[in-house]
Structure 1
Amino acid sequence: MYLNCHTYYSLRYGAFSEIELLQLAQENHVSQLVLTDINNTSAGLNFVRKAPQYNVKPVLGIDFRNGINPCFIGIAKNNEGYQELNTFLSEHLHGKREIPKLAPSFKEAYVVYPFEVVLRNNQQEFKENEFIGISVNDLKRLPFSRLGQLKDKLVVQQPVTFRNKRDYNAHRLLRAIDNNVLLSKLPQTEQTNEEEKMFPIQNLAGVFSEYTSILENTDKLLRSCHIHFDFSEGRKPQNLKTYLSSEKEDIELLEKLCQEGLQYRYPNGGDGVEERIEKELKLIKEKEFTSYFLINWDIVTEARKRGFFYVGRGSGANSIVAYLLRITDVDPIDLDLYFERFINLYRTSPPDFDIDFSWKDRGAMTTYIFERFKHVALLGTYVTFKEKGVIRELGKVFGLPKEEIDMLCSGRYDLAKLDSMAALVIKYGRLIKGMPNYLSIHAGGILISERPLTYFSATHLPPKGYATTQYDMVIAEDVGLYKFDILGQRGLAKIKETLEILKYNQPEKAANVDIHKIDDFKKDPKINELIKTAQCMGCFYVESPAMRMLLKKLEVDNYLGLVAASSIIRPGVAKSGMMREYILRHRNPGRTEKEAHPIMLEIMPDTYGVMVYQEDVIKVAHIFADLDLGEADVLRRGMSGKFRSREEFQKVKDKFIENCRKKGFLEVLIFEIWNQVASFAGYAFAKGHSASYAVESYQTLFLRAYFPLEYMVAVLNNGGGFYRSEFYIHEARMLGATIHAPCINKSFGTNCIYGKNIYLGFMYLRDIEERVTERIIKERSLNGAFGSLEDFLDRVTISVEQLSILIRINAFRFTQTNKHELLWKAHLMVSKNVQMEHPKLFVPKHKKFNIPELHTTDLEMAFTQLELLGFCLCSPFSLLENFPNNYNGQRDFIKHLNKHIDIYGYMVTVKNTNTYNGKRMNFATMVDQYGEVFDAVLFPPVAAKYIFRGRGVYRLYGKVVSEFGFLSIEVIKMQKQNYIPDPRYTDMRTAKKRLPEREKQKTNDGVV
C-alpha cells in the first residue's frame, strides 16, 4: 500500500537506508512497497536484492521533483518501465532541466500525481496509467473536493520518510545544510510534513476503510508490478556480450590474437607456454569472458596507435592471454603467477584489469571508449558525511561560533560539560555521519553494458561531462556489471616527457634510448644500486619514506625483490606484523624453517611462508583451510569496503575456522593465520599487479640513473610526486643542476632545461595570470628574445601589478639592472588602467628617468622567493636567525650509532600516525645542512611534548638507532629555529652587513 517511500538516497532529505526501510516494512507487516527516492535511483538495485530476505515484494519508482516541490511519482510496472523512468530522469539531470508539471506518456510505468499537486495545477484529464495519490492527511479534504468523484483514479499515497521524531529532526538538519541556513531560518517550504511515516498495514487499511475503492485500486496497481534483477551466484555478466557480431567470431579473433602475440612475446618458444594458453582460453570461453578480453585489447591497441604510454595491471596481469594481447607487460610464466587468482571455475566476475594512462592522455581514452561502444557510463560512488565535516556543517546550522566548531572537530572536549547546542551537534552528527551527501565518480571505473545503462539506474552528468551511474561498484558487481578501470597517473607522463626533453637537451643520446628494454634494466647494476641505496626520489611507487626505508632494510637489488616490496609496503602486511617477520626471514635464512608453519612454507616458499600477495589469501584459504576456490575468492573480495559486513563473507569466515578445526589445527594457529588474512587481504596487491608497478619503477629508475636532470624536470612538470616541488628542485641541484628563477627570455609555463641549467616555469608564480604567461611566450617565439624592459613593454601588453611580480622575482635580470630600479621604471611607464586585451598599435617614446642607485641583497631575494614561489632557491639554513652551532649531518650517523646526536634538519614531510592504544607519534623526513636526507621518529611521549609547526628548520637531539641497517634518529628533544626578520621590512643596511658573514659561514660549512 506504500507507493512513495524515501531513503537517505533522497539526498539531504531522507533519514535512513534502504535496508532500514525493509526492516520497517517487516515490522509493520507490509508485504509490498515502492521505493521512490527523489530524483535518484541509487538504492534501487540493492533494495531489490535484499527485499526477499524481509518477505517484501519490491517495486521501483522515482519521486520526480523540482527541488523538494513534488511533480509526480513514476512507478515501474516492470524492468522496461523502470528503464523508461530512468531515461526520463537522466535526460533532465543531464540537461539540468526542470521536471514538467505533466508526466510524459510512459508505456510501462504508472504515474501518481499527489492530491495537492492536482488541485494546485487544476488538472482535469488523466491518462489510463495516471492516478491521484491520497495520503492520510488528504482524506480530510477528499469529501469536499471534485476529485472524490474520480473513484477509479484514486490510490493510497502515504509518503514514508521518517520512522520517528529523531528522523524528522535529522531531515530538518539535512535540509538546513542543503540550504546553507541556520535551522531557525529554515523555511517551512524546504521541509516536509512530520506525518510522513509508515503505519502497520492493518491500521492504514482501517483509515481508508470508508474508501474501499482506493484500497482496491492501490492493491491492483501493486499486483501488476514486477521487477526482477538476477543476483544469484550463477548470474551471467551484464557486460557487452560480444565484441564482434557473435561469440564464435569473438573466440576466433581471440585465438588469432593469441597466436600473433605468441610470435611477439615468445619468439623462441617457452616451457609451459602452450599449455597455459590452452588452459586459459578454455576457461575464458567457458566463463564467457571473451568479449571482456577483446574490449581491453581494443582499448590498449588504440592507445598504442595514438602513441600513448599505458600500464596494464590488476589480477588480469596474472594472465598469459593478457600478456599476449599486450594488455599487460608481465610475463606470468617467468614470474610463476598464480593462475587461479586470475580466473577459476567458481569465479563469476572477470579478472580485474587496471589500465593506467598518463593523466594527460586519460581523457582522450575515456572519450574514445564512449564513442567506440554503444552503452557506456562512468561508475558512480557516494561521498558520505564524514565525522568532522558533519560537525562543521551542523555547527553552522546551529549557529555556533567558529572557535567552538573547531574545538568540537578536534575531539578535545568533555561531553558532559558541553552546552545544549554543542551536545546536539555531537548527537546528530553521529546520526548523520555515514549518510550519502552527494553523488560522485569512481576513481576509474567504466561500465560497458549489453543493455542501456538506464536499465539499471538513472545517470547523472558530473562536471567531467560523461554519463555516470547512480550506484557504486559493489552493487554493479552484484547485478553482473563489471567495470573496466581506466586510470590516470603522473608516472607515465613523467616517462614520456623525459624522452621528449631528451630530444632537445641531449639529442645525440635520445635516439639510443628504448624505454621498453625492461629485461636490460633489470640486470643494470647502476639501476639496482639506486634501489639498494634507496636513491629513488621522483621514481614511481618507490620514492616515499616508507618505501625507501623498506628497500634499505630488505637490501633489495633486483626486480623480484622490488615486486615483493611493492606489496609488502601495503598497510595490511605491516599491520599484521608480517612485514617485520618477512624482513627477519629474508635477512636470516635459518629463521624461516624455525618459525614458518610447514603448510604455509609449502604454499609460499618464495616469500618464506609469509602472505605477501593477494593470491596468497586464496592459496591459504584453499590449501590451508580447504575452502573451494569460489569461497576463497569471496574471502579475498570481502576483506575491504562494504562487502566485509555481508553475510556471504561471514559464512566463509566461519567455514574457514570450522575447516581448520576439523583438520586438527590448534586454536592459537587457526586464529593467528586468520588474523593475518583479515588484516591485509583487502590492501595487498596481486603479484602480477606488483610486477606491473615494478616494471614502471624500473623505467623511471633507468631515467633517473642515466638522465637525472631531464627526469627531474619532467617530474616537476607533472605535479611532482610524494613530496613538494621544492624538494625535487633540491634533488635536481644535488644531482648537478644549476637552478634559475623564472626568466622572461628563458622560461616557459612549465620548467625547462638547457644543458645543466634548469629554469623554473612561470607556473610557480602564484599570482601570475595564465594569459600573461601565454602572451610572453607567444611574443618571444614570434619575434625573439626581449632586449630590455622597454622592449618588453613595447611588445607585451601587461598590467603594472603583473609586471611587478615578474620584476620582483628578478625575471628581468638579463638587463643587468637592479630590480628596485626596474620597479620604479615600471610604475612610471605603465598606466594602472592599462587595458590588457588590446595590443599597442604604435610604439610610444620612452622617457628617461633619473633614479637613484638602489641595492638588492641575496637575503631580500630569498624572502621574495618565499613569498612568490613558496620556497627559496638558497639553502634554508642560510636564513636562520642564529647560525647552527654544529655541522652534523646524515653522513655522521654511522659514527654516532647508539649514541646521541645534535642535528639540524629542514622539514621535508611528516607522517602523523597513532599507536595501537591511540597515542600520536610522528615519522619525519628531513634534509640536513649538506642537502642529504635523514629520518627521525618521535615516539608518543616526545610527540606529546614537541609538535611540528609547519615548514622550516628544526634542531633535533636524539639517539641514532639502526633497524636492519636503516639508520634514523629517535628524537628526545626538538625545537623549531627562527628565520631572521624579513629584511624587506627591516633595516636594509643591517641586512647588507650580515650577508658577507653568512656567505663566509656558508662557504666554511660546506652548505649546499
Structure 2
Amino acid sequence: MFLNAHSWFSFKYGILAPEALLEEAAKAGVRTLALTDIHNTAGIPDFVRLAANHSIRPVAGIEFRLGPRLLYIGLAKNNNGYQQLNELLSPHLLDGEALPDPSTVLGAATLCACDEAFFILPFSTPPRTLHPNERIGIKPAELTRLPFSPWAKRPKDLVALLPVTFRHNTGPGPGDFNSHRLLRTMAGNTLISLLPAEELADPADCFRSEEEVRHSYRDFPELLRNTEQLLEQCHIAFDGSDKTRKVFGKNTAEDRERLHRDTLEGLHRRYPNAAPKVLARMEHELDVIERMGFISYFLINQDIVRHAQHRGFFHVGRGSGANSLVAYCLGITDVDPIELNLYFERFISTARKKPPDFDIDFSWKDRDEVFKYVFDKYNDASSASGSAGFHAAQVATYTTFQWRGAVRELGKAVGLPPEEIDALSEGRSRYGGGKPSEQAGSGNLDKVAQAVVRYAKKLIGMPHQFGIHVGGIVITDRPVTHYGALFRPPKGFPVVQLSLLECEDLGLHKFDILSQRGLGHIRDAVEMVALTPGPSPKERGGMPLTPALSRGEGEMAECDVLVLRTCTVDPPGRHPLDIHNIAAFKQDPAIKELLRTGDTVGCFYVESPAMRMLLKKLRVEDYLTLVAASSIIRPGVAESGMMREYILRHNDPGRVKRAPKELLEIMPETYGVMVYQEDVLKVAHLYAGLDLEEADLLRRGMTARFRERPEFRAVQEKFFANCKAKGHPAGQPEEVWRQIESFASFSFAKGHSASYAVESYQSLWLKAHHPLEFMVAVANNFGGFYSLEFYLHEARRHGAVIEAPCVNVSEELCSLVRSGDQMIRRSDDQIMEMPAADSRAQELHTCTVDPLGRHDSIYLGLANIKSLTAETVQLLLHERRRHGPFLDLEDLLHRVPLPLEQARILVRAGALRFTGKSKPQLLWDLTLLHNPASVTADGDLFITKVEEPMLPELHHYPLADAYDELELLGFPLCDPFGLVEGGEGFMRRREGAKGAEGLTRRREGAKGAEGLTRRREGAKGAEGLTRRREGAKGAEGFTRRREDAKGAEGLTRRREGAKGAEGLTRRREGAKAGRVISCQLSVARATSDDLRRTTDNEQRATNNQQPTTILKHDMPHHIGKRVIMLGYMVHVKPASTRTGEWMSFGSFIDPAGELWDSTQFPSVAARFPFRGRGVYRLIGVVEEEFGHCSLRTQVVEKLPWKADPRYGSA
C-alpha cells in the first residue's frame, strides 16, 4: 500500500534509517514497502538486504522533485527498471540537466521510454492520456476533491498515495515532525519562523494500519486494488555475486594467458633463482585467483600501475594486496611476501565471499591524472549513451551530524546569537566538539537552548550530505547505474551514491587509487638530486648512487643555482639514482642511525613525535622491526595496551617466556602479541577454532556499522563457546576478545605496514644523504606532520641558511641555492658573471649568493608570502624569466604592474633587499615611484631616471623584521628565543665561539656575519649545553640564582615579597606596570667545556630544591629530577584518557636547536593550557623509558615576545 516512503537518505527531509523504517512498517503490518528517497538511492541496498528480516517485500524507487514540488515517483519493476530510474536521475545530478516534465510531450515520452518502471504522478497533473507505465497518485486528503476531477472517470489509472516520513502522527508537538521542520530549515538556510509551508511534509505522513487505510479509501476501494496490483509487479534483488568487470582484454582466455605470462616474467625478474617453494606459491595463487574469478581484477590494477610508470609517476601498492606474490611479480606492489612470510589468505581465500582490494598510492600531484586515465578508459560519456555508458565511478561516503555541527546548525535555525551557539557547541574546553559541552549539560538554559540540545542529540549520526571516499573506485561489468545513481562533485569525476559497505554487499570490487604527500616529496627530491652536478660518489671513493649511497655530510659539491623543478640549465655530471633499491637501503648504516635515534623528521610515516619515540624505545635498526613499529603505532594496537606489551617483550626476552603459550606458538615473530590484521585471522582460526570464513568475518566485523549485524553476533558467540570447549584458562578468551575488538580503531595488514616501511626507507635514504634537497621537497609538498617552519629548522640543522623570499632568486615555492655560486642566470638561459664594477649589479649579486661562498641557502618561495596573490607571483616570475633579474625598485615597478599594496608586501617581506636599501627607505621610494600606468609590455630601451629626494635618517629595527616575518610568513627567520624579553641570554654569544658558523646570517649590513646556530658536523669536541650555575664567581649560565640574592635576575620573579624583582611572569597581584622576564640565560650555546661543567649541588638537586635549568642533551643526567626546560613550541597533540579527561603531548625546540618532548596529564593540561605558538618555560620531572627521555610537566608558562619597536614599548 505504501508507494512513497522516505528514509534519512532523503537528506534534511527524512528522519528514519532504512532499518527503522522497516521496523515501523512491520509494526503496522505492512507486507510490501517502496523506498523512494528524494533524488537518492543510497538507502536501497540496505533496505533490500534487511527487508526479509521483517517479512517485507521491498520495492526500489526514487522521488523526483523540482524544488519543493513533486514531479513524480518512480518505482522499479525489476533491476533493469531500477537502472532506468538511475539513468533518468543521473544526468540531472551529473550535469544539471532538467528532469523530464511529464506535463510536456517530450517529458512524457521520456518517462514512457522507461518501460520497466512505473511513474506515479501527482493529483495536480493536467488531464491527458497516460502511458501504460503512468498512474495518478491520490492522497487521503485529496479524496474529497476526486469526485469533481476529470480523473474520477478513469479509476484504472488511479492508485492510493500514502507518503511516509514519520514514525507516527505527532502533529506540531515534540517528535519526528519537529525534527523534520528543523532539517528543512537547515536545508533552506533560513529561520524556522520563515520556513515556507510547502517545504514541509504533511504531519500525517506516517504508517497506518490496514484497517485505517481501508477506512480512508472506503469510497474508492478500486484505488487500493490498483495499488496492490502495481506493487505485485515490482521486484528487486541483489545477490551479492561478483559484479566487477569480468574481462580486461578481448575474452577470458586471453586474460588468463596474459596473467600467467606476465606473472612468470615478473617472477624471473624478482627471483632470478626462484626456489621451489616460490614457484609453488605462485601456482597456488594463480589457481585461487582463477577459481575466484579475479583475473581481470589483477590485470586492471596492473594496467593502472603500468600507465603510471609510463608517465613517470611514483606509486606504492599497499594494503592486504601486498600479501600476494602475483601482485609482487606484476609490479603492483614492491613488498616481497616470501621474505616477510605474508599470509596470502588475508588477501584472497576460497573461504572468503567478500572481494579483495588493492590500495595503490600516488603522489597528490599525480593522482588526478591516474583517475582521468581510468575514467576515460572505462566510461563513454558521449551524449548518445549518457550515464548508461559509465562503467567506473568513485565511491561515496555519508557525512553525518555530530554534536558540534548539529548544535551549530540548529542554533542558526532557531536564531540563537553566535556567542550562545559557541557556548553550547564547544563549551569551555577547546576539545569539547565531539560531545555535549559543559554549557549544554548545565541546568541554566532557556527553553530555546534546551530544545537545541534535545534535538541535537536526536540528529547525531544522521547523514545529511554525500562525501567522497578518499580513493575508492568501482569498475563494473554492467553500467554503474545498475546499482545506483551518479552525481558529480566539483573535481568532475562521477560518484555513485553508494558507500564502501554497500559496494561490498552488492559484490562490487573497490579499486583504491589514493594520494599522499610522501611520494610527492620523494619524487621531487630525487629530481633535485639527479640535477646535482659534480663527481659521483664512486669517484669520491664512496658507494655508487646506484644501487644506493651518495655523498656524506659536508661533501656537497659546489654548483650553480639549483631550484626545484625550475633549473633551466642541464648541469654536467648527472648521477643515476635508483630510489627503489630497497635492499641496499636496508644495509645503509646512516639510515640505521636515523632510525635508532629517531632522527626522522620529514620522513614518510615515521616523523610524528609518537613514532620517533617508538623508534627509540625499540632501538629500530632493521626492516622487520620497522614493519612492526609501523603497525603497533596504530590506534588499534596502541590503545589496547598491546603496543606497550610488544615493547616490553622486545626489550626483555625473559618476559617473552612468560607470555601465554597458546598465543606465542601462533605468533612467535611478534612475541605472542597481535600486531597485524593477519594475527586476528590466525588467533580466531587456531586459538578459537573458527573456520577461515568466520575468522575473516570477525576481522571485518570490528566496525561500528558491521558489529550490529546478526552474522557478526553469531560468530562472537561461537568464539567464546569454542574457547570454552578447548579449555583455555578462565579470563584469557575475554582478554583475547578485547584485543581483537581494539582493531576496530584501525590496524594494518602486515603487507600494508611493509609497504609503508619501504616508502619510509626511501625518505630515510634521501634525508641521510641529500638532506637539503629532501627538506626542500618536504616543505614544497605541504603534507608533513609539522609546519613549514619546523622543516626549515631541520634544514638549518643540516647546514642550510634560510633566506627570506627574494624577487630575483625565489621561485613560487622554496628553492635550494648551492654554495659557491657566483653566477646570475639571464633570460636567454646563458650564465653571466656579474661585473664588480657595476654597483647595482654587484648589489644584486651579493643578494643572490653568500659572499663568502660557505653556505647552501634555501630561499622561501614567493607563494610563501601571505597576502601576496597568485597573480602577483606569476607576474614576477614571468617577467624575470623573460627579461632577467630586476636591478632595483624602480626597474621592478617599471616592468611589473604591481598594485601598491602588493609592492608594500614585497618590501616588508624582505623580497627587495638586493637593492641594499633598508625597508623604511624602500617604502618611502615606493610611495614616490609607484605608478602602474607607466609599465610597458616589453620594457623601454631607455628609462628616465627619477631623481631621489633627500631623506632624513630613517631608522631600521632588526626586531621589526621578525614581526614582519611573523605576519607575512607565519614564523620568524631569526632565532625565536631572541624575540623573548631577556632572550639575549638564550642565544649563544657569537664572540668566543671559535670557528662556529651560524645557521642564518644577518641579511643586511654585516658582511660575513656569523649565524645564530652552528653547523652540526665537523665540530670535534662539540659544544656542551650548560654552564655552571653556581659556585663559580662571575660564571654565566642558563639561570642565575632566584632567591636570597639581592637584585639577582632569574627566570621568574618571586610572586610575593620581592618588590621590583624581575622574572618570567608578572606578579598576579599588586604589581602595577610590573615588567616581565629578566632572563639572562647568557650562553645557551657556549663552548663545550663551559656547557658541560656541573656542580656537586646541581647533581644532588632534588624536588625540594631549586629546579635546574637544562637542555635536551642533559635530560639523561637528570632522570627523576625536577627541572626547568625552555622550548619553542613545535606541536601539541591533545589526547583523551580512558576516563574521558583531556591531556596533551608536546614537542619543543630547546635553545640549542634540539627537539624534546613533554607530557601534560589532565590536571596540568586543565590548569596550564598552551596558548598558541611561542616560547614556553616548563617545569617538570624528567622521565625515561627504554632510552627515551621526556618531561612530565607540572607547570607551563608562556614567555611574552619583545615589543615591536615601531610601536613603542609595551
**Shared fold (TM-score, shorter chain, > 0.5):** yes
More displaced stretch, 245-254 vs 710-719? 245-254
Q: Alignment length, in residue pairs?
A: 978
Cα distance change on mapping 1:508 and 1:780 into 2, 3 Å: farther
Which residue identity is paired with 1:540? F
C-alpha distance in 1 between matches for 2:489 and 2:212: 44
Aligned partner of 1:477: which letter? E
The answer on whether the counterparts of 1:614 and 1:681 sit within 8 Å (CA) in structure 2 is no
Q: Give the distance between the partners of 1:839 and 1:218, measured in 2 at CA.
A: 77
The match for 1:815 among 915, 934, 957 is: 915
Residue 28 in 1 paired to residue 32 in 2? no
Q: 2:159 aligns with which of 135, 152, 155?
A: 155
Q: Structure 1 residue aligned with 2:116, among 101, 108, 127?
A: 108
Match of 2:577 in 1: 513
1:357-389 residue CA offsets vs partner (Å, 9 max, x unmatched) = 000110000000111224100001111111101
- Is residue 2:661 matched to residue 1:634? no
CA distance in structure 1 between the partners assigned to 2:783 and 2:483 by the alignment: 40
- Preserved contact between residue 112 and residue 130 of structure 1 (Cα < 8 Å): yes
Cα distance in 1, alignment partners of residues 462 and 127 from structure 2:
37
Q: Give yes or no for contact 2:44–2:60 (8 Å, CA) kept in 1.
A: yes
Give the unaligned 5+ runs of structure 2.
103-107, 380-390, 428-436, 537-573, 819-855, 984-1078, 1085-1109
Q: Would you say 1:721 and 2:747 are equivalent positions?
A: no
Is 1:361 the counterpart of 2:366 in the alignment?
yes
Compute the displacement of 1:192 (Å).
2.2
Instruction: Please point out which of 322, 326, 348 is paired with 2:327.
Output: 322
State yes or no: 1:215 paired with 2:215.
no
- Matched with 1:589 is 653
Q: Deviations over 1:489-515 (max 9, x none)?
A: 111111110112223344655514211
- What is the letter of the counterpart of residue 185 of structure 1? L
Tell me the alpha carbon deviations over residues 612-660 of structure 1, each in whole angstroms, 9 at most, x when there is no partner.
1110000000000010000000011111242122222111111111110
* Mapped pair 1:226 → 2:235: yes
What residue identity is the alignment partner of 1:419? D
Q: List per-residue Cα deviations over 1:115-155 (Å, max 9, x = no partner).
A: 13x1xxx3423112111000111112112222211211110
Q: How does 1:260-339 map to 2 (within 5 A)?
A: 260-339=265-344
**Match for residue 406 of structure 1?**
422
Which structure is richer in relative contact order (CA contacts within 8 A, separation 6 or more)?
Answer: 1
Q: Over residues 857-914 of structure 1, what are the superposed CA-to-partner deviations in whole Å (9 max), with x where a residue is unaligned?
A: 2210000000000001011111112334544310111221111111111111111112
Q: Which amino acid aligns with 1:608?
A: Y
Letter in 1 for 2:355: P
Q: 1:814, 1:162 → 2: CA distance?
A: 71
1:190 corresponds to which residue?
Answer: 199
Q: Which of residues 135, 146, 170 is equivalent to 2:139?
A: 135
Cα displacement (A) at 1:247 = 2.1
2:393 to 377, 401, 406: 377
Q: Is the 8 A contact 1:156 1:214 kept in 2?
A: yes
CA shift, 1:67, in A, is: 2.2
CA distance in 2, matches of 1:930, 1:352: 48
State which of 869, 874, 884 in structure 2 corresponds to 1:784. 884
- The CA distance in 2 between the partners of 1:681 and 1:255, in whole Å, is 37
Residue type matched to 1:434 in 2? G
Moved more, 925-934 or 681-690: 681-690
The question of whether the paired residues in 1 share the 8 Å contact of 2:355 and 2:504 is answered with no
Q: TM-score, normalised by structure 2?
A: 0.80
How far apart, in 2, do the equivalents of 1:299 and 1:228 lie?
Answer: 32
| 2:680 equivalent among 606, 612, 617 | 617
Q: Do the aligned partners of 1:4 and 1:35 also contact (CA within 8 Å) in 2?
A: yes
1:351 aligns with 2:352: no
Q: Quote the sequence identity (%).
A: 48
Larger helix fraction of residues: 1
Contact 1:83 1:456 in 2 (8 A): yes
**Letter matched to residue 115 of structure 1:** F
Contact preservation (8 Å) 1:530, 1:536: yes
2:148 alignment partner in structure 1: 144
Separation in 1 of the partners of 2:182 and 2:1207?
A: 49
Residue 963 of structure 1 aligns with which residue?
A: 1185
Question: 1: distance between equivalents of 2:671 and 2:930?
Answer: 72
Query: What TM-score does the superposition give when structure 1 sets the normalisation length?
Result: 0.95
Determine the C-alpha separation between the residues in 2 that align with 1:547 and 1:517.
Answer: 24
Aligned equivalents of 2:702 and 2:766: distance in 1? 37
Residues 112/764 of structure 1: CA separation in 2 closer, same or farther (3 Å cut): same
* Aligned mates of 1:421, 1:837 — CA distance in 2: 63
3-state DSSP of counterpart to 2:601: coil
1:28-64 superposed Cα distances (whole Å, 9 cap, x missing partner): 1110011111111110111111111111111111110
931-940 or 880-889: which moved more? 880-889
Note the C-alpha offset of 1:211: 0.9
- Structure 2 vs 1, CA of residues 913 and 804 (structure 1 numbering), >3 Å: closer, same or farther? same
**Residue of 783, 799, 821 corresponding to 1:736:** 799
What does the per-residue CA deviation read over 1:675-733, in whole Å, with 9 as the maximum and x for residues that have no partner? 11111255111111100000000000000000000000000010040011110011111
Task: Specify whether residues 957 and 291 from structure 1 end up closer, same or farther in structure 2 by C-alpha distance, changes over 3 A only.
Answer: same
The code of the aligned residue for 2:55 comes to N
In 2, Cα distance between equivalents of 1:836 and 1:901:
61
For the 8 Å contact 1:552–1:965, the answer to whether it is kept is yes
Alpha-carbon distance between aligned partners in 2 of 1:197 and 1:351, rounded to the nearest angstrom:
42
Matches within 5 A, 1:201-212: 201-212=210-221
The equivalent position to 2:944 in structure 1, one of 838, 845, 849, is 845
The CA deviation at 1:206 is 2.1
Amino acid at match of 1:392: R
C-alpha spacing 1:306/1:438, structure 2 compared with 1 (3 Å): same
Secondary structure at the aligned position of 2:166 is classed as: coil
Check the 8 A contact 1:303/1:309 in 2, yes or no. yes
**Aligned equivalent of 1:749:** 812
Does the CA contact (< 8 Å) of 1:797 and 1:839 recur in 2? no
What residue in structure 2 maps to residue 1002 of structure 1? none
8 Å CA contact 1:4, 1:160 repeated in 2:
yes
1:386 aligns with 2:402: yes
The one-letter amino acid of 1:488's match is S
State how far apart, in whole Å, the 2-side matches of 1:251 and 1:541 are: 37
Q: Distance in 1 between matches of 2:404 and 2:934?
A: 46
**Aligned equivalents of 2:1200, 2:131: Cα separation in 1:** 79
Q: Per the alignment, in what secondary structure is the counterpart of residue 143 of structure 2?
A: helix
C-alpha separation between the residues in 1 aligned to 2:514 and 2:66?
Answer: 35
Give yes or no for contact 2:893–2:935 (8 Å, CA) kept in 1: no
Q: How many Å separate the matches in 1 of 2:1122 and 2:519?
A: 43
Tell me the amino acid that sits aligned with residue 805 of structure 1.
I
Aligned residue among 387, 410, 416 for 2:443 = 416
- Given that 2:894 and 2:935 are in contact with CA atoms closer than 8 Å, whether structure 1 keeps it comes out as no
How far the C-alpha of 1:271 sits from its partner, in A, is 4.9
5+ residue gaps in structure 1? 991-1008
Determine the structure 2 residue equivalent to 1:1001.
none
Confirm or deny: 8 A CA contact 1:415 1:423 kept in the other structure. no
| Alignment correspondent of 2:901 | 801
Structure 1 counterpart of 2:404, one-letter code: K
Determine whether 1:566 maps to 2:630.
Answer: yes
| Equivalent of 1:928 in 1129, 1146, 1150 | 1150
Which amino acid in structure 1 is aligned with residue 36 of structure 2? T
Contact 2:1178 2:1195 in 1 (8 A): yes
The one-letter code sitting in structure 2 at the alignment partner of 1:933 is: L
Between the aligned partners of 1:929 and 1:956, the Cα distance in structure 2 is 13
Letter in 2 for 1:346: A
Is residue 895–residue 935 contact of structure 2 (8 Å, CA) maintained in 1? Answer: no
User: Are the counterparts in 1 of residues 355 and 508 from structure 2 also a CA contact under 8 Å?
Assistant: no
2: distance between equivalents of 1:389 and 1:842?
61
